Amino acid sequence: MAGAHSAQTLVESGLKVCMLDVGYADDYYKKITPKDDFCSIRKNNKNQHEIFLGKYFESIQLGGVKIGAQLTPGRSHLIKDINKYLPVVSDTFSPYESLAYGGLGSGWGAGAFTFSNPELKAMGLDKTEFEKAYNVINSRIGISGERDDSSPFCNDKLANLQSPVKLDSNSSKIYEKYLRNRSKVNNLDVYLGRSNLAVLTEDFNGREKLKYREMSFYDDHGESVYRPWMTVNVLLEKDNFVYQPGILVTSFSEKETYVEVRSIDTKTNEQKIFKCKKLVLASGVLSTARIVLRSADSHEKLPLLCNPYTYLPTMNFSRIAKPIESQRTSLSQLFMFYDKYRNNMDVSTCSFYSYRSLLSFRIIKEMPLAMRDSRLLMRYLLPALTIIGIHHPERGSDFKYLCLDKDDSKMTGDILRISYKLSCEETHENRSREKVITKALFKLGLIPLTKETPGMGASIHYCGTLPFSNEERLFTLGFDGKLMGSKNVFVADSSGFKYLPSKGITLTLMANAHNIASKIIEKRGFD
Amino acid sequence: MSIDEDRVSIKIPSNEAIKLASYLVGKPIGHEVTIRYEMAVQIKQVSLNSHEQRVWNLMLSYSLILTSVDSYLALTDRNCPIRKRICIMLAILEAHPNYISSFYFKRPQFIDHMNLLFSLFTTPFKVVLGILIIKLY
């Protein structure tokens, strides 16, 4: 996300940009997945097992619920070679990283949230800059949503919105119930609204509006759901942009007039060196930390932030055994916010998903009944099943950090060690928030069946390793994104954010990348 | 993802896929589903130890024992190899157009309600039988 949007801003200003990327892409599933909707594929496609389970059954995840359990075959390239090139050791944190073309954004749920002024301030970001930047990104990617009770929490800084995605019958029931019981729910400081998504409901920039195929977790046909590779594809047509795939950047060193970038060619595993006038790191928080620590040959502990994440499979009883429409979206259709302090700060966020396209077996294997009995029951429950993903806000502490340890057995000669522990107070706070959220869900007619906490790292929202700072301190960033102690190295991803709101970070990540690139352009002293 | 070249070959009884499909959806399966199941078990390397293998053989011989042990394991050891094998077959059946009606229905019929109620009401008995089989066999 950050790489694509910083590159776009730089390229549009006329600068010459070279993007170094490993860039794994899916060549197989894209070809075998038809443009039909989910129901048509289910009814007619004889080879659907490859689409839904994978050529090597990689989507049948046996064992307990793990991070990435929802990863479909068409997205499995997102985590290709992660253990080889981006090794991590941790007992307390299971991160999600990607070497894919377009990065982790290829698996993004498309939730697009603007942050409130108190949130931006706590993150170390300027509200005026971000009001502009959010709209620049909106004009690039297209965002759909509604002005409703959720607006202060997700879209009040966006000038234009496409109309929201159509609600399916399950989400409609929930939303209708909210409108009927609004004051009771609001009394809990909980607000519900239509989802704000980077999904087109009108044709836009050569991309098609959403066709409600319910295949968004599997393919990108029609390009209605924004993915960063779409931006890179557009940039590839520009004369001042060069894309260098198969390159894993490992470290850099600053010379008198240029920056030397060291890398591994992933096809040959040989080292390659590139030279540039300015280096913009946008590799994702963990990989950027690796590159910076490796370049400084440092074992320093860097802070890390990640949203605590829980999900609740819930039952909308009014929908049990009801028919499901054939055309709908698998993306979140409703957002809910718990504004505990009534100041749009430290808000907890819930995303509602109607479940079907990821198939029933993933749920059935977790049910406390024989699989045959669970299957019989699941036919009744599926139309009513609503998955609620809950994210909590997060601040740093001494118990949340990463560092780079030497390990000669690894390709890069090191391994990222992560320790992440919530304090008792933090855990208690999150539980008490979940109790209030559960109360609100009851008022919406949703009965939680169980609570799954997949462990830290599961939210896939990371930040804070190189916090923004006014001081000239190593391993911090200036407010222009410049790495302290360097002259020409900038960081455009979320490494600088000092606070992590619960709302999805992705839109702000893109806006920040645009801002950093704009500041580089403003201050540039080179051709 | 590619198949792990170090994997060991797992012996799968010839009637295993047919029995499992019959248990899960009550329908016959074609050769392609059998092949697919056996391939998935090999790729996923779901092997059974000697005790599990004995119980498994018994389960495949009697459908009441199959559902009873499955009911018991669903409560006590949801992710054990026996359940993993059943789960593999369930996933393969779900991702096949011939069995779509076993996973969704347009409108449930009276027989569907009865079928579900019978399955749920007999669960405690199945669990008890499952305990006895696992502990004694």
Task: State pLDDT tens for residues A245-299.
Answer: 999 999 999 998 999 999 999 999 999 999 999 999 999 999 999 999 999 999 9
Is A162 in a helix, a strand, or coil? strand
**DSSP state letter for A398:** T
Residue A64 has pLDDT above 70, yes or no: no
Contact list, B115 vs chain A (CB under 8 Å): 376
CA distance readout (Å), A519 to A136, A454, A514, B11, B73: 15, 39, 9, 64, 60
- Other Cβ atoms less than 10 A from the Cβ of A484: the count is 15
Cβ atoms < 10 Å from Cβ of A206: 8
- Write down the domain spans for chain B: 16-136
Interface test with A, best of B33, B47, B103, B107 (most A CBs within 10 A): B103
Residue A236 clears pLDDT 70, i.e. is over it = yes
Q: How far apart are the first and last CA of chain A?
A: 26
Contact across the interface for B40 and A370, Cβ inside 8 Å:
no
The four Cα atoms A127, A131, A133, A134 give a dihedral, to 10 degrees, of: 120
B131 CB neighbours in chain A (<8 A) are none
Under DSSP, the state recorded for B9 is P
Say which residue, A458 or A502, is predicted with more confidence: A502
What residue in A sits closest to B70 (Cα-Cα)? A370
A322/chain B closest Cα distance in angstroms: 7
| pLDDT tens readout for residues A141-156 | 999 999 999 999 999 9
Q: Mean pLDDT throughout B124-128?
A: 96
Give phi and psi for A73, each to the nearest 5: -55, -40
Alpha carbons B68 and A265: distance in angstroms, whole number: 54
Q: Is A44 on the interface with B (CB under 8 A)?
A: yes
**Residue of B92, B112, B123 with shortest CB distance to A369:** B123
Render pLDDT for B22-61 as a digit per residue (tens, 0 to 9).
999 999 999 999 999 999 999 999 999 999 999 999 999 9
Least confident of A15-19, A340-344, A469-473: A469-473
With an 8 Å Cβ cutoff, is B100 touching chain A?
yes
Specify whether the CB–CB gap between B119 and A372 falls below 8 A.
yes
Judged by a CB distance cut-off of 8 A, whether residue A375 touches chain B is: yes
- pLDDT, position B7: 62
Q: CB B108 to CB A380 under 8 A?
A: yes
Indicate the helix (H) or strand (E) that contains B94: helix B81-94
Alpha carbon distance B57, A427 (integer Å): 46
Q: Which domains, and CATH codes, for chain A? A: 2-523 (3.50.50.60)
Q: Residue A89 — left, alpha, or beta (φ > 0 → left; ψ -120 to 50 → alpha)?
A: beta
Q: What is the pLDDT of residues A193-208, one digit of tens each?
A: 999 999 999 999 999 9
Q: Is A411 on the interface with B (CB under 8 A)?
A: no
* A370:B126 CB<8 A: yes
pLDDT tens for residues A105-137? 999 999 999 999 999 999 999 999 999 999 999
Counted residue by residue, chain B has a size of: 137
User: Per residue in A296-349, pLDDT tens?
Assistant: 999 999 999 999 999 999 999 999 999 999 999 999 999 999 999 999 999 999
| pLDDT band, very low/low/confident/very high, at A472 (cuts 50, 70, 90) | confident
Chain segment A372-416, per-residue pLDDT in tens: 999 999 999 999 999 999 999 999 999 999 999 999 999 999 999
Cβ pair A73, A50 in contact under 8 A: yes
From B3, B68, B90, residue closest to A375, measured CB to CB: B90
* Confidence band, pLDDT 50/70/90 cuts, at residue A63: confident
CB pair distance less than 8 Å for B79 and A375: no
Query: Average pLDDT of chain A?
Result: 95
Of A60, A374, A379, the CB nearest to B88: A60
Mean of pLDDT over chain B: 91
Give pLDDT, residue B130: 95
Taking an 8 Å cut-off on Cβ atoms, the answer to whether A370 and B67 are in contact is yes
Q: What is the pLDDT of residues B72-104, one digit of tens each?
A: 999 999 999 999 999 999 999 999 999 999 998
Cβ distance B91 to A369 less than 8 Å, yes or no, reads no
Determine contact: B2 vs chain A, CB below 8 A: yes
pLDDT of A527 reads 43
Residue B91: closest C-alpha in chain A:
A361
CB contact under 8 A, B90 and A62: no
Sorted by sequence, the CB contacts under 8 Å of residue A148 that are 6+ apart come out as: A193, A194
Give the closest of B1, B95, B116 to A58, CB-based: B1
**What integer pLDDT is reported at residue A65 of this predicted model?**
61
C-alpha pair distances (Å), A101 with each of A27, A142, A355, A425: 12, 21, 28, 40
Contact B131/A at CB under 8 A: no
Best of B41, B45, B94, B99 to mutate (most A CBs within 10 Å, chain A): B94
* ipTM given for this complex: 0.94
Confidence of residue A54 (pLDDT cuts 50, 70, 90): very high
The pLDDT assigned to A356 comes to 94
